[in-house]
Amino acid sequence: MRSICWLNGFFILMIAFSCTSNINHPVDPTKLSEAERLELAKELAQNTVMVDGHVDLPYRMKVGGFTLQREILDVSERTEGGNFDYPRSKEGGLDAPFMSIYIPSSYQETGGAKVLADSLIKMTERLAVSWPDKFAMAYSPDDIEKNFEEGKISLPMGMENGAAIEDDLDNLHYFYKRGIRYITLTHGRDNLIGDSSYDTTRTHGGLSDFGKKVVKEMNRLGIMVDVSHISDDTFYDVMDITEVPVIASHSSSRHFTPGFERNMDDEMIRRLAENQGVIMINFGGSFIDQEYRERNEEVREHIVNWLAERGHSRNDPEAREYIEKYVADNNPFPTVKRVADHFDHVVTLVGINHVGLGSDFDGVGDTLPTGLKDVSMYPNLIAELLARGYSKEDIEKICYKNVFRVWRAVEAFAAGKS
């Protein structure tokens, strides 16, 4: 056995690990101490392109009162609150968070969905303009790889809720030109495209006739179809129509949350794999753990009542201290191990080629698990996967290779249609 020199720390360990296929010189991460494994995970995160399918920074900026006319949130520096900024992304090894252009379902009734989408796209672009040494827009896997080599964080964009298409297929072409590379067909309620997993109305019984045209046109243009948020019937309609692989940009396994239609059941995951698609695991506590999900509503109700009785806001020091202790005592957060369980389940069902990262950072509030509270903490998940026997190649597939395969297949199909 070759001895491993520790003079340069885990840089050398990383090199050895990359050669684990050589049975004469294996380095087995499962045999390392937790500290050693975490250092190896950090090396992997820093040296591997890492794509996250869903980060809600643009809407976080909007809710925070930042506009195109006013000062924009400075995420080039460490920020108070939120889950994403440049320093923490660099610490965690995140290279390409898909910026969610999120359209609340209320805009389907009030109008203005396209206008809102435009404003959030411009806000995202402004990050790259304001700090060009740190951020860059990305419209393809090639862009992300180029930006990675230059040390920049890429800002690809996906639209969450196809309501911004309104009733005009030409808007798909418009948003493709604006840089949108996936569209989550619905959100919290049924829309003109199809039925939502959160809505019980079942307006169309799946995709509408218009929605079927939307899916075909997305295929033709080169926009990935995102099956997160849609009802089961809508999902199967998409599977019957799409000519290219699809993604679930921020969904988890329903195996761990029975009855929660927002997640995907085993049969859906199998069908997604047959389509050569990818499910990108959501980190939110209510997505990954049934017990937490059930207790969370009770805890939230108690906290709301406690705040009202005392006239406090959540940001008051006394309230923050009380809430933190009450949550810890009455509904402890799931841990990074539960997130890893979802990866294990998908891999057991359909193999390593159909799973990725879809954190929903800045979108799931204070429900994130212990060990995955912000974008600096991806190495904790990688370390847990290494402890379970995942290889360097497995980690690379999870971090970017799987979603790049889908994205390039969508690009190639569209190129053939142009």
CATH of residue 351: 3.20.20.140
Cα–Cα separations (whole angstroms), residue 123 to 59, 249, 365, 368: 9, 21, 21, 25
| SS3 label, residue 154 | strand
Give the rounded percent of residues in the chain with a pLDDT score beyond 90.
83
Confidence at residue 70, expressed as pLDDT on a 0 to 100 scale: 60
> Whose CA is closest to 247, among 143, 148, 160?
160
How big, in percent rounded to 5, are the helix, strand and coil portions of the chain?
A: 50, 10, 35
Q: Which of 183, 64, 61, 52 is nearest to 114 (CA)?
A: 183
Strand partners for 356: 280
Is residue 36 within 8 A of residue 9, CB to CB? The reply is no
Other C-beta atoms closer than 10 Å to the C-beta of 188 total 16
Show the domain range for 206: 50-289+334-417
Residue 373 lies in a domain: yes
pLDDT digits (tens, 9 = 90+) for 267-285: 999 999 999 999 999 999 9
What does the block give as tokens for 380?
């904790």
Q: Is the pLDDT of residue 153 over 60?
A: yes
Indicate the length of the chain as a whole number.
418
* Span 191-245, pLDDT tens digits: 999 999 999 999 999 999 999 999 999 999 999 999 999 999 999 999 999 999 9
User: Does 43 reside within a domain?
Assistant: no
**Continuous segment of H or E residues that includes residue 54:** strand 51-55
C-alpha pair distances (Å), 329 with each of 315, 319, 337? 20, 15, 20
Contact, 52 vs 96, CB < 8 A?
yes
Return mean pLDDT, the chain.
92
Range 130-153 average pLDDT: 98
Query: Would residue 11 count as lying in a domain?
Result: no
Q: Which single residue is written with the structure tokens 């995970």?
A: 41
Residue 23 has pLDDT above 60, yes or no: no
Beta carbons of 152 and 136 less than 8 angstroms apart? yes
Q: Does a structural domain hold residue 45?
A: no
Position 60 in a domain: yes
- DSSP-derived 3-state class of residue 280: strand
Asked if the structure places residue 29 within a domain, the reply is no
What is the tally of structural domains in the chain?
1
Return the amino acid letter for 179.
Answer: G
Question: What's the distance, CA 195 to chain centroid?
Answer: 21
CA distance readout (Å), 311 to 306, 307, 314, 360, 366? 9, 6, 10, 31, 21
Q: Is 327 inside any structural domain?
A: no
Is residue 36 included in any domain, yes or no? Answer: no
CA distance 408 to 140: 8
